[in-house]
Structure 1
Amino acid sequence: MYKKYQAEQEGIRGDDDDRDSDDDRDVDYDRTDRFVETGENTEVFKSKSLNNLKPFYNGSVLDDRMAEIRKSIYHIRQNWGDFDLFMTSLKQLLLEDGSIEFKDEKTREHADNLLTTKRDWMTKDNKHEDYSYEAIKLYTSKEGHDRIYRVGNDIFRDEHSVVSVDKIRSMVFLVELINIDLYNYCLKVPDKSNYEGVVYRGICVTADDFAAFQKLCAEPISKRNIAVPLGLLSASSSRRVARKFIRNQLKKQKDKTLKPLIIKIHVIGLKPEYVEHYTRRFPSTVLTTICAVDIQELSRHPREREVLLRGPFQLILDMYEDTSEQFNQPCHVLEAVMLNANRDHISTSFLGDLDALARDMFGTMVNVTRSEFALKYCQEKGLKADENEYKSILESSIPKLKNLMEQ
């Protein structure tokens, strides 16, 4: 099963991913930071088992901030009538450096439209209305990404910064605007919904950070999770694109100590029978697939074949050296699996007393779906110890899920 899946995703999806080329038209090296993480700029990662290590989303105040983030999500969704107030606060947040002006004309246009237009989650009844996607387009621009990334880091990652409730709420509101764009895009263009496939990110890490990833892979399966709460990660469906960005980043380093690492993420969907049961049990809510959306056609740089990962929760499968990669030094691959589905829709905020059951049921559905994929992966690769552990996880998770589905 896994071998067939891998062949389909890596071979049939495009032979160019397995061959290098001197053709650089598909990459813009000024945008390297979108796909390659380096040193202290390593992207947002969080693992409970490695809270004090630099490659992961960490910080002594993280738990308090995430609690405040959750409060902000509910506050914004339950008070959507205060849209104009939220937008005013967002403008103030982005203006803190003295200017919201962007040098690029198209980027300025996207920012102006985003900050002056009211938007909302579409429904099947109004999905044929005109809609533009300025939040996504601003994020895919070089200047827009840099601004969003910088402000997001200050609020979500820097443990030394003093963050007010208003700042957290404004950043959550900005991510909500991106959520809305992603959801509406999938609703209006059904082919973009329920993305499944393999995507890639590149990391250039220090020796200490590399050791941190190795340590993570040696942890029990229950601790091999990497989460990016409310985060946005740029990935590419083309391994070649990720490879070229890494090579460019390695050329720029001065001390020549960074190590290349490719993150290969298998994006899978929730089992259809689970989706059907969940929506029947909680008919007023909507499950989305905005955790992974192919935004190539919306991007300012379509040749990058970008798949935007929204708040991905990844389970690490394996880490190994790939001798086929040519970086004048060993390159390792970190394989992971994630679900494209989540409960991130405004309807979730109004479940009331049913929210706890819905959250537990959905989480267990995800755990079973992901563990079944991981089990097949381990069987194919001969990872016997992990195979046995996944069997044990499923032996306890499947009866739990059955019990939840009967409630």
Structure 2
Amino acid sequence: MGNTRVYFRRVDIPEDVKDSFENLLEGFRDYGDLDITPKRLRLTPSIAVNRPQKPLVERFDAIELYTAEKSFDHMYSLITKTLRNEEPSEVELEVVATLVELLTIDLYNLRLSQIGHPMYANFEGVTFRGLSITLEELEEYKAILARPELAKRNFSVPLGLLSSSTDEKIMEEFSKSTHNDGKRPIQLHLTIHIHGLDPVLLREYRRLYPDSVVSSICAMPVGHVSPHGEKEILLRGPFFHMISMTSGEINGRPCEKLVVVMMNANRDHGMEHASDQGAKERQRQCFLRAVSASKYEVCAAIAEKHAPWDANAYRTLQNNALQQLQDIDGIYVITDGHLAEHRAKNVATWLGGALRKSYPRYYAKKRVSWQTMIRDENWKEADKILRAEYEWKKRDWYNVGQLTDDGGEFVDDNLTLLHILATKPPPPSTETDRFECWQRLIDGACQPEVWMKSFDSARNTAYDLARRCGNECLMERLQPRIAHALDPAALGDLELRLHKIMVEKFGQFLSEHIFHMPQLSVLTEMDIPELWIPIPLSYGGVFVTLSKPQRIWGLDVVVYEVVVGQTWPKKTDVRLDLKPPNLDLQ
């Protein structure tokens, strides 16, 4: 870090990103799950690292700098320049390795802070990347795809980071950039199928090597940290396996469509350094076989659509890897063959922090802008903010309260933004643009699992507020949809018990961020009653699940329970039974 600071003192850093540079390069950066103690690291007290204070985890300076254009040009473009240099200096190599490690730590901590949300815990899905390439680069891609051995049809960027997006339109915009038409005349559309390890193989690997740190930071959503928020999935050290390439033309310009598979799994954590000797080497090779078996299963399924002549050969590679796992590692599993269909599921999120500092600064800034637009009835700008969001995050915007610097203004009466929307009359239909934007906002508000409850003490519903304000056109659409009818008194008792657990585990963070405690009544409106409750600055949070009714002694008895899974600092499962006093015996 000292050498990196010295290196960048020679660089002319723009004023508007200088603070982020200084925040990143000063002080410490630790992996969030590293308890730096002599016992954990098996070090003597004189060698152990003592941190003067716990680092902030909601500030992801390395990711901010990477995703901002000005700071990227001055800082992270060094990675590309150095790796392309045939004879890079030792100093630049060290700085590049440090920058990559700082980004790795930020990505790991971002994942840990949202570990209860499957999109962050293990992103699986399809992303897109657009760029312009030269004829020579095109020939390199074609040469890789033409390799007779399917196992070698791959390329990687070991120390590199690449941006991709869940939005195809962003790929198209980047690929048709005209300023490089002369030198890079070919558009390349990259479709990336991202998947994690087969869950059964991962479980067996962890059974053999419980001390191994396996994470999925090779593909991470960073839209809430990025100043642009372009539905970005940041790819770290990507290893692409090529499936097919097809040629075409867009507006008279050549365009190549490349389909690849990428695995979202790695083990290069601060406690998981690679080794070519002894137990660590056996562990590393076992992990490689598990990754290969998973990858070839996905490749076979994707090839069925894009290169059917290769599908059976990929299945053979998968079976070979599974056989090696059995012969060498003693792992025998039968996979279900559906890994390529996996997508990270969405869960409802309770964002209870009322302070700007509770969230990454660009997200907080955008959310303050959103609440201002809703209050000012600026439907066009509110709609614009929402349309730029990830599909799986859009409903969160309706379910959040207002942000403030000190929290005092909204503590007792913090209506969600959905409820503010319910108090506003529709614009005149003659104002076409405003009315269409307002209509889209209302349509989004009425999607499943946008709950109709509020943070305020009176627990008004959006329906109540629409009726009170005379917005009859909204009343029917904003009526709460109860999927799980529970006794209110029993549910209230269960909620108090949940809050007690949260105060015991996270009391410091709850008070520091003026946290609005979750209302379990929102679970009654969800078809899939699951709720992720991240706690700001705590490296994690609480995951709550409302189980299905049970059958007792042959009778249909309404008995619910909430399972509370605390994800960090110590993973625990607490089962809270809810037995309504008036049991409905059928």
Give the distance between the partners of 2:244 and 2:27, measured in 1 at CA. Answer: 45
Give the distance between the partners of 2:83 and 2:183, measured in 1 at CA. Answer: 30
- Tell me if 1:320 matches 2:246: yes
- Tell me if 1:115 matches 2:29: no
**How do residues 268-287 of structure 1 correspond to structure 2 at under 5 angstroms?**
268-287=195-214
* Conservation of the 8 A alpha-carbon contact between 1:195 and 1:289: yes
CA 157–272 in structure 1, closer or farther in 2 if over 3 Å, else same: same
Q: 1:51 maps to which residue?
A: none
* Conservation of the 8 A alpha-carbon contact between 1:120 and 1:180: yes
- Tell me if 1:222 matches 2:148: no
Which letter does structure 2 place at the counterpart of 1:366? V
Q: 1:393 maps to which residue?
A: 317
- Tell me if 1:310 matches 2:236: yes
Deviations 1:57-83 (CA, angstroms, capped at 9, x unpaired):
xxxxxxxxxxxxxxxxxxxxxxxxxxx
The runs of 5 or more residues in structure 2 that have no matched partner are 37-53, 332-586
Query: CA shift at 1:212, angstroms?
Result: 2.3
- SS at the partner of 1:321? strand
Selected match of 1:101 from 1, 7, 13? 13
CA 269–113 in structure 1, closer or farther in 2 if over 3 Å, else same: same
Q: 1:331 maps to which residue?
A: 255
Give the distance between the partners of 2:302 and 2:121, measured in 1 at CA. Answer: 25
Normalising by structure 1, what TM-score?
Answer: 0.70
**How do residues 156-171 of structure 1 correspond to structure 2 at under 5 angstroms?**
156-159=83-86, 161-164=87-90, 166-171=91-96
- Tell me if 1:289 matches 2:233: no
Deviations 1:102-148 (CA, angstroms, capped at 9, x unpaired):
23x2x21211111113120112989x984111111111111221123
* Conservation of the 8 A alpha-carbon contact between 1:357 and 1:404: no
Q: 1:264 maps to which residue?
A: 191
- SS at the partner of 2:11? coil
* Conservation of the 8 A alpha-carbon contact between 1:124 and 1:187: no
Which letter does structure 2 place at the counterpart of 1:235? S
- Tell me if 1:183 matches 2:183: no
- RMSD of Structure 2 on Structure 1 (CA): 2.4
Higher relative contact order (CA 8 A, sep 6+): 1
Give the distance between the partners of 2:313 and 2:20, measured in 1 at CA. Answer: 48
CA 100–278 in structure 1, closer or farther in 2 if over 3 Å, else same: farther
Selected match of 1:153 from 65, 72, 80? 80
- Tell me if 1:406 matches 2:330: yes
CA 253–150 in structure 1, closer or farther in 2 if over 3 Å, else same: closer
Give the distance between the partners of 2:181 and 2:330, measured in 1 at CA. Answer: 60
Give the distance between the partners of 1:121 and 1:257, measured in 2 at CA. Answer: 40
Give the distance between the partners of 2:307 and 2:278, measured in 1 at CA. Answer: 44
Deviations 1:300-333 (CA, angstroms, capped at 9, x unpaired):
001x21111000111001101357xx43334221
* Conservation of the 8 A alpha-carbon contact between 2:144 and 2:153: yes
Give the distance between the partners of 2:273 and 2:140, measured in 1 at CA. Answer: 37
Query: CA shift at 1:197, angstroms?
Result: 1.1
Normalising by structure 2, what TM-score?
Answer: 0.50
Deviations 1:347-404 (CA, angstroms, capped at 9, x unpaired):
21287731111111111111111101111122234622x1232133123211101223
Selected match of 2:141 from 206, 213, 231? 213
* Conservation of the 8 A alpha-carbon contact between 1:140 and 1:299: yes
Alignment size in residue pairs: 308
Query: CA shift at 1:157, angstroms?
Result: 1.9
Give the distance between the partners of 1:382 and 1:318, measured in 2 at CA. Answer: 6
Q: 1:347 maps to which residue?
A: 271
Q: Which moved more, 1:346-355 or 1:278-287?
A: 346-355
Give the distance between the partners of 1:403 and 1:228, measured in 2 at CA. Answer: 31
Give the distance between the partners of 2:219 and 2:113, measured in 1 at CA. Answer: 16
Query: CA shift at 1:256, angstroms?
Result: 8.0
Which letter does structure 2 place at the counterpart of 1:223? K
- Tell me if 1:252 matches 2:166: no
CA 253–122 in structure 1, closer or farther in 2 if over 3 Å, else same: closer
**How do residues 14-29 of structure 1 correspond to structure 2 at under 5 angstroms?**
none
Deviations 1:220-251 (CA, angstroms, capped at 9, x unpaired):
2122111101211111111101101222x1x2
Give the distance between the partners of 2:180 and 2:61, measured in 1 at CA. Answer: 34
Q: 1:80 maps to which residue?
A: none
* Conservation of the 8 A alpha-carbon contact between 1:196 and 1:267: yes
Deviations 1:27-55 (CA, angstroms, capped at 9, x unpaired):
xxxxxxxxxxxxxxxxxxxxxxxxxxxxx
Query: CA shift at 1:337, angstroms?
Result: 0.4
CA 148–277 in structure 1, closer or farther in 2 if over 3 Å, else same: farther
Query: CA shift at 1:257, angstroms?
Result: 6.7
Give the distance between the partners of 2:101 and 2:136, measured in 1 at CA. Answer: 35
Which letter does structure 2 place at the counterpart of 1:110? S
* Conservation of the 8 A alpha-carbon contact between 2:76 and 2:99: no
Give the distance between the partners of 1:350 and 1:381, measured in 2 at CA. Answer: 35
CA 312–357 in structure 1, closer or farther in 2 if over 3 Å, else same: same
- Tell me if 1:369 matches 2:268: no
* Conservation of the 8 A alpha-carbon contact between 1:94 and 1:151: no
Q: 1:357 maps to which residue?
A: 282
Query: CA shift at 1:100, angstroms?
Result: 4.6
CA 228–256 in structure 1, closer or farther in 2 if over 3 Å, else same: closer
The runs of 5 or more residues in structure 1 that have no matched partner are 1-86
Larger Cα Rg: Structure 1 or Structure 2? 2
Give the distance between the partners of 1:283 and 1:268, measured in 2 at CA. Answer: 22
- Tell me if 1:133 matches 2:47: no
Which letter does structure 2 place at the counterpart of 1:197? G
CA 147–216 in structure 1, closer or farther in 2 if over 3 Å, else same: same
Q: Percent identity?
A: 30
* Conservation of the 8 A alpha-carbon contact between 2:194 and 2:264: yes
Give the distance between the partners of 2:189 and 2:158, measured in 1 at CA. Answer: 21
CA 125–150 in structure 1, closer or farther in 2 if over 3 Å, else same: closer
**How do residues 25-36 of structure 1 correspond to structure 2 at under 5 angstroms?**
none
Give the distance between the partners of 2:55 and 2:11, measured in 1 at CA. Answer: 33
* Conservation of the 8 A alpha-carbon contact between 1:270 and 1:341: yes
Give the distance between the partners of 1:254 and 1:391, measured in 2 at CA. Answer: 40
Q: 2:485 maps to which residue?
A: none
- Tell me if 1:239 matches 2:143: no
Q: Which moved more, 1:391-400 or 1:333-342?
A: 391-400
* Conservation of the 8 A alpha-carbon contact between 2:294 and 2:318: no
Give the distance between the partners of 1:218 and 1:333, measured in 2 at CA. Answer: 16
Give the distance between the partners of 2:273 and 2:75, measured in 1 at CA. Answer: 25
Query: CA shift at 1:169, angstroms?
Result: 2.6
Give the distance between the partners of 1:363 and 1:400, measured in 2 at CA. Answer: 11
Which letter does structure 2 place at the counterpart of 1:394? Q
Query: CA shift at 1:209, angstroms?
Result: 2.2
